[in-house]
Amino acid sequence: MNALQIAYEGCPLCGSESTLLGAANCTKHGLWHSALPDTLEWMRCSACNHVHTRHYWSEAGLAEVFRNAHANQLAGGTASPDAKRATWVPVVEKVIRALGGYQVCFAGSSPVWVDVGCGDGTLTMTAADYGFAAVGLDARQETVSRIRQLGFRAEQGDFMKMKFEGQLDVLSMMDVLEHIPYPRDALRKAAQLLRPGGVIVISLPDLTCSSWKVMDAAKANPYWIEIEHHHNFSRQRLVALLKECGFDIADFSVPHRYKAQMEIYAVRV
């Protein structure tokens, strides 16, 4: 451990003791540089079986990690904007169905959608195209600036520290929850922010899915060296956590944006 990292005292989900699962050399990760530790140690909780890193990033560590950004985390670029938008259309339409149908976007006032960890902003923009009052939230100022330059709403900040006015209709955490040191706290905050009947949609890797197992067997699983991630969730553990935090599961999907992903839609009780 160094000034960039803080050790978990126990499982970040249930507080129980965790034991070492293994270690991975992360120097081949695209954002790794010499100021960062070169090894990720992974732990497994003895009680709930959750898999997490031994440490999480301190504020200084996050600043070091965020010193650079992936090209795919910035708005614009060379990819076709319509092709990128098309990847998010199924997500927006599933959210609309979970809210009760297409009329929600034509009811006189636009439902509020906050996209946490908005990256290149394409989901935020697609939600706006459907009539949502969509706001992107990201830790990287460069990311936010690019989205604003295109005329869309975006804010820079830490979700756990941000304050929001009024209740939200939709909250999306696409490939975000695995980055947050204490996911239970994040989901409890999400439950407080969303109105009853509001929808949360989460996507992240599923360590129990078939493609994860194939990558592990081939010793070619990129998630073990993912320096931005603190967690590898199973579907069972994520569903249990959502229910514990006040959500009912509404839908499940297998997206194709990244490897071994799952996508869960849940309604605030």
| pLDDT value at residue 63 | 87
Q: Taking the mean position of all CA atoms in its chain, how far away is CA 151?
A: 24
Check if the beta carbon of residue 49 is closer than 8 Å to that of residue 237: yes
| pLDDT value at residue 70 | 56
User: Any idea where the domains of the chain sit in the sequence?
Assistant: 71-268
d(C-alpha 209, C-alpha 132), whole Å: 32
What is the number of other CB atoms lying within 10 angstroms of the CB of residue 156?
A: 16
| pLDDT value at residue 101 | 80
Closest CA to 237 of 215, 217, 262, 216: 262
Per DSSP bridges, beta strands 168-174 and 194-205 are parallel
Check if the beta carbon of residue 231 is closer than 8 Å to that of residue 12: yes
The one-letter amino acid code at 256 reads H
| pLDDT value at residue 142 | 87
Per DSSP bridges, beta strands 51-53 and 55-57 are unpaired
For 71-268, CATH gives 3.40.50.150
pLDDT, tens digit only, all 269 positions of the chain: 469 999 999 999 999 999 999 999 999 999 999 999 999 999 999 999 999 999 999 999 988 987 765 555 555 555 788 999 999 999 999 999 999 887 766 767 899 999 999 999 999 999 999 999 999 999 888 889 999 999 999 999 999 999 998 999 999 999 999 999 999 999 999 999 999 999 999 999 999 999 999 999 999 999 999 999 999 999 999 999 999 999 999 999 999 999 999 999 999 99
Per DSSP bridges, beta strands 261-268 and 194-205 are antiparallel
| pLDDT value at residue 72 | 54
What is the number of other CB atoms lying within 10 angstroms of the CB of residue 232?
A: 25
Check if the beta carbon of residue 155 is closer than 8 Å to that of residue 135: yes
| pLDDT value at residue 1 | 47
Rg (CA), the chain: 18
d(C-alpha 91, C-alpha 125), whole Å: 13
